[in-house]
Amino acid sequence: MAETLGQFLRTVREQNKLSTRAVKKETGITTSQLSRLECNITRTPSPTTLKKLALLYNIKLIDLFQKAGYLDSKDVDFYMESCFKGIEKLNPEDKKH
């Protein structure tokens, strides 16, 4: 069974040794909001909430957007293709940068 967004967020918060109160202090997300999110009661948190958590937990926002269902693998593939369009024209040094 795939890990839910809530399970993932709880795991990452605990790995960062953060209490729900510490998250509230740093992000403004209330402990009850965070609890509902981690218990999968809130299934579609706002993108702003996800951004605050990604910054605090030092994780990729795109991963949270995928877990929340805002993006799927096709969205990510399209984004990556557009970001690197024309890369084959660059010399090795420019590609490195």
Helices (H) and strands (E) in the chain, counts: 7, 0
pTM of the model: 0.76
Q: Say how far residue 18 (Cα) sits from the centre of its chain.
A: 17
The pLDDT of residue 43 is 81
CB atoms within 10 A of CB 43: 12
More confident residue, 46 or 88: 46
Distance CA(8)–CA(90), nearest Å, equals: 38
Mean pLDDT of the chain: 88
Q: How large is the average pLDDT for residues 51-64?
A: 94
Query: ∠78-83-89 over CA atoms, to 5°?
Result: 120
pLDDT greater than 90 at residue 69: no
